[in-house]
Amino acid sequence: MTSPTYRSIFVVSTKLKLLTCWLTIALLCLDSPDACGCQQPASGDSTTQNILATINGQAITRDQITRDLQRTLGDRQLSAIEKKKAIELTTQKLVDQHIALDFLTKRGLAANSSEVDLQIENLKSELKTIDLSFAEFLEETFQTNEDLRFQTKWQISWKRYLRNKLSDEFLQSYFEKNKRRFDGTEIKTAHLLMKVPANGSPIHEQRINNELLEIRKQVLSKSTTWQEAVKDHSEAPTRRSGGSLGWISLQGPMPPSFTKAAFQLSKNEISLPVKTRFGLHLIRCESVRDSALGWKDVRAELKKQASRDLLQAIVEQHKHAGAN
């Protein structure tokens, strides 16, 4: 039976990796490593085929992905589609970590070998107290020594960067620029929906998009009213009530693409066409209900989202630099 002390060490380690994983997943679900400017290997021998991507000379292999999934998912059984997505997301996570570490290294902010050594020596000391060898720990946590060293360097480096970056001044400024994302603001919305057939062609969808643009133009020029446009053109059940959807927040209940567009509107503004699984929408902001919450009230959420945005910015910077 595994001792409680060892279980606690394993749980802490796993939580750290899960945090890193989902931090990246919330940021970037990109289609392929090419999107971040990393290089995919040419087909060749089995060793080359084991490499999924290379970042600044550092290879990311199928074996690494397999071990990472074992650590994060355990015995959970996945469907073929879920497994494919999990592999893509785990690959992207490691790509992002390598990019961020390169960014920090070039600025003298990354952990050095001595710091990594010290952290691992501390771990070995803890393992001795529960009569568990370092080799057994690596085996039971599905890691190689190289995996552990990389993750240790990543965790020390990124934590240090965030500690220095996420000052009260930064968080307050970040809050002011993104108030509606954090302060509980609600938007009273209405929409005009035109459905897109599941088997519709891109040309058909573009035709609907253009029709919505023309309707929007007519409403803005006051050649028709919003209510008349909704009544005449909307295919939603709300067409008889001016398309009213009531109050929505960033947490729901509308799809993310709809909510994101709605929260960029001021009172009486109408969005450009927005696509959701229901079809294409014009969204109208009817009213805004502000919250009294300040940045200190949502400090924890601010830190989480700001760290995601900072990582995204680093990856985007790398991508654009690679494109130039």
pLDDT in tens, 113-160: 999 999 999 999 999 999 999 999 999 999 999 999 999 999 999 999
- Whole-number pLDDT of residue 265: 92
Which range (22-31, 72-81, 272-281) has the least confidence?
Answer: 22-31
Question: Taking 50 as the threshold, does the pLDDT of residue 311 lie above it?
Answer: yes
pLDDT digits over 199-208, tens only? 778 888 999 9
Could you give the residue ranges of the DSSP H alpha helices within the chain? 4-27, 46-49, 62-73, 80-106, 113-129, 134-140, 145-165, 168-177, 179-182, 202-220, 226-233, 256-262, 299-323
pLDDT digits (tens, 9 = 90+) for 253-275: 889 899 989 988 999 999 999 99
Answer whether 28's CB lies under 8 Å from 18's CB. no
Return d(Cα 52, Cα 35) in angstroms, integer.
14
> What mean pLDDT value characterizes the chain?
82
What is the model's pLDDT at position 17?
39
Please report which confidence band the pLDDT of residue 182 belongs to, taking 50, 70 and 90 as the band edges: confident
Of 41 and 124, the one with more pLDDT: 124
- Please state the rounded mean pLDDT for residues 282-288: 94
Share of the chain above pLDDT 70, in %: 83
Give the closest residue to 11 by CA, choosing from 85, 71, 86, 83. 71
- Any idea which of 26-30, 32-36, 95-99 has the lowest mean pLDDT? 26-30
- Whether the pLDDT of residue 10 is over 50: the answer is no
Q: What is the DSSP letter of 119?
A: H
Rounded to an integer, what distance in angstroms lies between the CA atom of residue 211 and that of residue 235? 14
Residues 297-323 have a mean pLDDT of 86
pLDDT per position as a tens digit, 61-96: 888 888 988 888 887 888 888 888 888 898 889 989
Domains of the chain are 4-165 (no CATH), 186-289 (3.10.50.40)
